[in-house]
Amino acid sequence: MNILQDQFDQDQDMSDYITFAHGLYIGGKWRPASDGRVIEVVDPSTEAVIAAVPDATLGDTADAVEAAAAAAEAWRGTPPRRRSEILRRCFELMTERAETLAALISLENGKTLRDARGEVAYAAEFFRWYAEEAVRISGEYNLAPSGANRIVVDYQPIGICILITPWNFPAAMATRKIAPALAAGCTVILKPASETPLTAYALAALYEEAGVPPGVVNVITTSDPGPLTAAMLADARVRKLSFTGSTGIGRLLLAEAAKHVISCSMELGGNAPFIVFDDADLEAALDGAMIAKMRNAGEACTAANRLYVQAGIHDAFAEGLRRRMAALRVGPGTEADTECGPMITRKAVAKIDRLVQDAVTRGAKVLCGGEAPADRGFFYPPTVLADVPSDSEMAHEEIFGPVAPISRFENEAEAIARANDTEYGLAAYIYTRDLAKGMRVASRIESGMIALNRGLMSDPAAPFGGVKQSGLGREGGQKHGIAEFMEAKYIAVTI
Ligand code: NAD
């Protein structure tokens, strides 16, 4: 029985199902953890417990691998056209239920309804994109340079995949992995973040309804991911680890995967520079900064983490940003007029506050915000800091919150040097009316993605990923994302 079916009844009050202890989803069946333990899910706006999900044991995890293995042969043998149609159906169902899914994301994550709706649209788009890619996987055929034989290259599904995702985009980080994996013919085990498991389970029910066969997608939640992941990676049938999360955990998992020589894709942390040149369109740069900084209240790996503004436009930009940030309505994400929701946990608020106080101690000026309120809920006010020194901790660490630190620069060379002064290299933003300068600077910034005169770059049709400590591999894009879930098999043929 599909225990989550009811939640898609549009007439039903959300509270009817969020208190339900959702099952682990293994082999197409919903079940509690084998020792009955649960993880509580907290609404970050109120700190109230809204649901409990099973806390998987090592035995449950082994069952999930077993289920993925049992389904593997039939799924890789399913015609690409059929796989494509199922993925397309996932897109359609997500789109039909966008409002319910957005409300659920907003509730467990805290992001505004507007951001949650944007996430559902983005997440669903991965199914549409990979429905189109599933039937376009092509091999290679050519004559060896020696003339002795033909080189035939076949692309095959890599095998069972472990997918681990963060809480900041509970739907999109999962579909960005599941859709290409299924298109390639792989079966998967998804381990979502325990802060936001409800969206992952809601989507599992939707995949089932779309026709994804039992065992092709399995979902488990755990409060102790280290040992459970290590056990899954030690199973010789598991051939892929695709992780999105912090660089620190990514390094641990790379080391764990190395023991078994498992292919890894790593989407890790960021520290994006946002560069505004004197010749930028001021209003466009401010619009872009608000999107790049405040989408998800700053809880995004691509969030503008350091704003470098050229001396001639600096004061006007700082004042414009202060005015916009100070005007934002802070509140529960689920309320229609909220423009900045809560952070995910109290620990996250404490980290943001530590970074702000460190910058202020080193000489930064607070233009607005800058202090955590004592009320219930994990809120932090939209904050703008000016004259943030380059030795402040926030210049080198992800803030992951609604804090915009501005620094002044004089010339192009200085902007590039300061932008590259980080171990990360995920995203960067450049504002200038001079396209040649924009392209020149883009080519010299050490980053996997650049937005030129835009505040947003994510697109399922473009390769998403970072360089340096921001990761390995790409998700989405033409060929890139799906290639992470396939192996090339070379066959030498004499004819
Ligand atoms: P996190 O690294 O703490 O957790 C990510 C996931 O890993 C969660 O599911 C968590 O339960 C799991 N995890 C934690 N410890 C583990 C272990 N020892 N073994 C196996 N799994 C483990 O990150 P987070 O706080 O959930 O997410 C925020 C981070 O994710 C930020 O650094 C952000 O930049 C990054 N992120 C990157 C991208 C990207 O595409 N590059 C996208 C979104 C978020």
> Of all atoms in ligand 1, which is nearest to the CA of residue 176?
40
* Homologous superfamily (CATH) for 272-459: Aldehyde Dehydrogenase; Chain A, domain 2 (3.40.309.10)
Residues with CB under 6 A from ligand 1: 164-169, 173, 191, 193-194, 225-226, 229, 244-246, 249, 252-253, 267-270, 301, 398, 426, 466, 471
Nearby residues of 68 by Cβ (< 8 Å), 6 or more positions away: 160, 187, 188, 189, 215, 216, 218, 237
Residues of the chain with pLDDT under 70: 1-22
Q: How far is CA 371 from CA 169, 359, 367, 380, 389, in A?
A: 26, 13, 12, 7, 19
DSSP 3-state percent helix, strand, coil across the chain (nearest 5) = 40, 20, 40
* 2-268+470-492, CATH topology level: Aldehyde Dehydrogenase; Chain A, domain 1 (3.40.605)
> Of all atoms in ligand 1, which is nearest to the CA of residue 302?
34
- Is residue 143 within 8 Å of residue 150, measured between CB atoms? yes
Nearest CA to ligand 1 atom 26: 166
Ligand 1 geometric centre to CA of 166 (Å): 4
Q: Which of 388, 372, 385, 272 is nearest to 322 (CA)?
A: 385
Nearest CA to ligand 1 atom 19: 226
- Is residue 429 within 8 Å of residue 458, measured between CB atoms? no
- Tell me the pLDDT tens digit for each residue of 403-421: 999 999 999 999 999 999 9
Ligand 1 geometric centre to CA of 304 (Å): 19
For residue 156, the tally of other CB atoms under 10 A from its CB is: 15
Nearby residues of 73 by Cβ (< 8 Å), 6 or more positions away: none
Q: What's the predicted TM-score (pTM) here?
A: 0.96
- Tell me the pLDDT tens digit for each residue of 227-246: 999 999 999 999 999 999 99
> Of all atoms in ligand 1, which is nearest to the CA of residue 167?
26
> Of all atoms in ligand 1, which is nearest to the CA of residue 269?
34
Question: pLDDT at position 4, please?
Answer: 38
- Residue 73 has which token pair? 């042969």
Q: How far apart are CA 63 and CA 182, in angstroms?
A: 20
Nearest CA to ligand 1 atom 8: 193
- Is residue 307 within 8 Å of residue 289, measured between CB atoms? yes
Task: State which of 55, 126, 229, 249 you would mutate to test the pocket of ligand 1, scoring each by most atoms of that ligand within 8 A of its C-beta.
Answer: 249
Q: Which residues pair with 430 in a beta bridge?
A: 275, 452
Task: State which of 126, 168, 222 you would mutate to test the pocket of ligand 1, scoring each by most atoms of that ligand within 8 A of its C-beta.
Answer: 168
Ligand 1 geometric centre to CA of 214 (Å): 27
Task: State which of 222, 301, 352, 399 you would mutate to test the pocket of ligand 1, scoring each by most atoms of that ligand within 8 A of its C-beta.
Answer: 301
- Residue 410 has which token pair? 């004089």
Q: How far apart are CA 216 and CA 189, in angstroms?
A: 8
Ligand 1 geometric centre to CA of 168 (Å): 9
Q: Do the domains at 2-268+470-492 and 272-459 have one common CATH topology?
A: no
Ligand 1 geometric centre to CA of 153 (Å): 35
Active site residues: 267
For residue 141, the tally of other CB atoms under 10 A from its CB is: 12
Q: How far apart are CA 384 and CA 365, in angstroms?
A: 9
Q: Which of 287, 230, 297, 285 is nearest to 259 (CA)?
A: 230
Ligand 1 geometric centre to CA of 104 (Å): 20
DSSP assignment string, 452-491: ES-S----TTS-B--SGGGEES-BSTTTHHHHTTEEEEEE
Domains of the chain, by residue range, sit at 2-268+470-492, 272-459
